[in-house]
Amino acid sequence: LREAFQATLDAVDLKGSFRQPGNAEWEGTAARAAYLPVDYSIAMMDYQLCYWNGNAKPTSDLSLVLYHDNRPCALWPLSVSHGETGELRIGSSGGALRPPLFVAELAAKTVKSMTTKSLAALNRFCLDNGISGWESAESFIDASGLSDWHDKAMQQGATATLRHELFIDLTRSMAEIKAGFRKSYKALITSGGKLWNVHLLAQADAALWEEFRCLHLSVAGRATRSLDSWEAQHQAIAAGGAFFVYLRDEAGRMVGGGLFHVTRDECEYAVGAYDRNLFDKPLGHVVQYHAIEEMKRRNIRWYKLGPRFYPADVPQPTQKELSIADFKQGFSSHSFPLFCLRYSFQ
């Protein structure tokens, strides 16, 4: 697949190199972005690839560093997944396609030109490999407005579907952030702080991470993903791409915890598990609050809580998804549009 995609890049005169072990060039280019979403972080990409490959959805990484004038100028997370009947699907880390992320200093004219070439490469690769279409998703990126990717894809005939995502503005003071919480949450955070001992893991600790995996297994009632995906998240903590907030009771037993992926600018809630026997007690509220305090200590700009589902969304969300979204909205300061673009060759 890499050879095929390289041929496509050559055909449209788009210069790029595939992400290499060590990731030094990826990291260096990421550091030059005006805003770095978690979706473009190595830790999140590696985790997602492990997740899909461990859940019977073979996924190949085609992520690219793009060049202009022989200098790295953009990151493009790309992957190709293999369906059960052999069909191919192109996206990013096994999910919806993310557009190239350009460095801050790149001229607007160059961004437009490279976006046009990127779309041409994407479309040509799909047609050459029997892929019937693609779906991209573009999250809020620090008030930058709609991208050239969005505009050019729509000009080519893509259709847009509106979704919503919840965020917290971390440039506010902690007092301002807490003042924006749902009223009932403030009392729960205070009472929970008296019930549990709160801890932060920001370095490797295999035994502690295994303790959390076992808690997750107990709560879910079954193994929901591979051991490799759990190890990828442990490695993310070790490398500074994630942190883990967890709670213990007076006896020292872990009763809940949450993992948060981070970049310089953004944090995203990844996974949580809480003792089912204590669901009447404030667990998740306490983890979220102390995670936000840690984000503030790291000077992160936005906390991406996740999707905000509504009853009329298509496909219709489950009651569980609606409940989780309502829980997150009680913390959020902003709801931003998530535009899902779909393009079909048929």
Segments of the chain assigned E as strands: 16-18, 59-61, 64-68, 71-76, 79-82, 88-91, 101-102, 133-138, 159-169, 197-201, 242-248, 254-262, 266-274, 302-307, 334-344
User: For tokens 């200093």, what's the residue?
Assistant: 105
Pairing verdict, β 302-307 and 159-169: antiparallel
Q: Above 70 in pLDDT, residue 143?
A: no
């060049």: which residue's tokens? 67
- pLDDT of the residue at 295: 98
- At 125 the pLDDT is 97
What's the mean pLDDT in 238-261? 98
Percent of the chain with pLDDT over 70: 99
Quote the mean pLDDT of the chain.
Answer: 95
Asked if the model's pLDDT at residue 288 lies above 90, the reply is yes
Look at 131-145, 194-208, 248-262, 277-291 and tell me which has the smallest mean pLDDT. Answer: 131-145
* pLDDT at residue number 179: 97
Residue 99's pLDDT is 96
Question: Is the confidence at residue 142, as pLDDT, over 90?
Answer: no
Q: Which pLDDT tens digit goes with each residue over 99-141? A: 999 999 999 999 999 999 999 999 999 999 999 999 999 887 6
- The pLDDT of residue 77 is above 90: yes
Q: Residue 151: pLDDT band by 50, 70, 90 thresholds?
A: very high
| pLDDT score for 270 | 94
> What pTM does this model have?
0.95
How high is the pLDDT of residue 83? 82
Give me the DSSP letters along 171-197.
Answer: TS-HHHHHHTS-HHHHHHHHHHHHHSE
Give the pLDDT score at 312: 95
178-211 per-position pLDDT tens digit: 999 999 999 999 999 999 999 999 999 999 999 9
Tokens 């479309």 belong to residue: 123
pLDDT at residue 276, rounded to an integer: 93
pLDDT in tens, 78-93: 999 998 788 999 999 9
Query: Which of these, 339, 345, 314, lies nearest to 157 by C-alpha position?
Result: 345
For residue 286, pLDDT beyond 80: yes
Q: Are 261 and 236 in contact (CB under 8 A)?
A: yes
Indicate whether 269 pLDDT > 90.
yes
For residue 346, pLDDT over 90 is answered with no
Contact between 340 and 135 under an 8 Å Cβ cutoff? The reply is: yes
